[in-house]
Amino acid sequence: MIQVVLLGAGNVATHLADAFSKAKNIELVQIYGRAKKSLSHVDNQFDTTCSLDHLKEADIYIIAISDDEIAKFSSKLRIRNSLVVHTSGSIAMDQLHGKFRKGVLYPLQTFTKNKKLDFATIPICIEAEEQNDLLLLEKLASSISDNIYFINSEQRKSLHLAAVFVNNFTNHLYQIGNELCDGNKVPFEILKPLIVETAKKIETISPIEAQTGPAKRDDNKTIKTHISMLSEEHQKIYKLLTQSIKNTYGKKL
């Protein structure tokens, strides 16, 4: 049985709490939250505290708070003989400050409040200073997910950057698509199957093989028409991404 304390009560912490509570060999001993209010959605199911002085004993303490606060928060912890990990994609392991053993448990997924996720399919990237701790983290991660990766801080930084492109920026393109539909009284619904298929396509073929569209086939007539239909801001995005696709396939705009 691995004993775990969760430090944080936000989105990631709540999803982890949910996953741990269903795992066979994990005991979720306690959840810490900054304020009593922040714990209201979990305190009927788990032991909770708002005081770092009242943290219970555990094998692993998991910090799941805002990236910006991790370093400072970790330096307040009085933990000595346990493993402390954070869950951030963009923070290096050595930004954890304290006399505890250090590691990272980064579940790479987009977490939405109130939207259940199947944790088993979520890739978990782990890192630790000590080999034994890496094995401990692997055991912990394996109990909630089928996809475990050993990823160091440098690799994780790149992964997080790549995630910004495929998740945050992609979602923004969906939003522009939504705006274009609204502006022309077309239901955005129509695009949803295309959006899902575009994502699923690259499960079997690489993005470079999957590319289609006017930029790929150097169809400058369509490109020109499209540009004339867009606002100045959207024109800039259209032109830059079109040029980038053309560069990838060796054609000039």
Nearer to its own copies, 45 or 186 (CB): 186
Task: Please report whether residue 135 would count as binding its own copies according to CB under 8 A.
Answer: no
Closest distance between its own copies and the C-beta of residue 61, in Å? Answer: 24
- For residue 253, state whether it binds its own copies (rule: CB under 8 A): no
Q: Which of residues 58-117 bind its own copies (CB under 8 A)?
A: 67-68, 90, 108-110, 112, 115, 117
Q: Which of 44, 80, 190, 232 binds its own copies (CB under 8 A)?
A: 190
Closest CB to its own copies among residues 47, 205: 205
**Distance set, CA 53 to CA 48, 56, 76, 161 (Å):** 13, 9, 10, 36
- CB nearer its own copies, residue 50 or residue 201: 201
Paired with 148 in beta bridges are 124
We find the least distance from the C-beta atom of residue 146 to its own copies, in angstroms, to be: 10
If DSSP states are collapsed to H, E and C, what string results for the chain?
CEEEEEECCCHHHHHHHHHHHHCCCEEEEEEECCCHHHHCCCCCCCCEECCHHHCCCCCEEEECCCHHHHHHHHHCCCCCCCEEEECCCCCCHHHCCCCCEEEEEEECCCCCCCCCCCHHHCEEEEEECCHHHHHHHHHHHHCCCCEEEECCHHHHHHHHHHHHHHHHHHHHHHHHHHHHHHHCCCCHHHHHHHHHHHHHHCCCCCHHHHCCCCCCCCCHHHHHHHHHCCCHHHHHHHHHHHHHHHHHCCCCC
* Cβ nearer to its own copies, comparing 53 with 189: 189
- What is the size of the binding site for its own copies (CB under 8 A)? 91
Among positions 23-52, residues that touch its own copies (CB under 8 A) are none
139 binds its own copies (CB under 8 A): no
Out of 134, 180, 218, 235, which residue is the one contacting its own copies (CB under 8 A)?
180
Considering only residues 199 to 218 of the shown chain, the ones binding its own copies according to CB under 8 A are 199-208, 210-216
Residue 174 makes contact with its own copies by CB under 8 A: yes
Q: Which of residues 147-166 bind its own copies (CB under 8 A)?
A: 147, 149, 151, 154-155, 157-159, 161-166
The minimum distance between CB 248 and its own copies, in angstroms, equals: 7
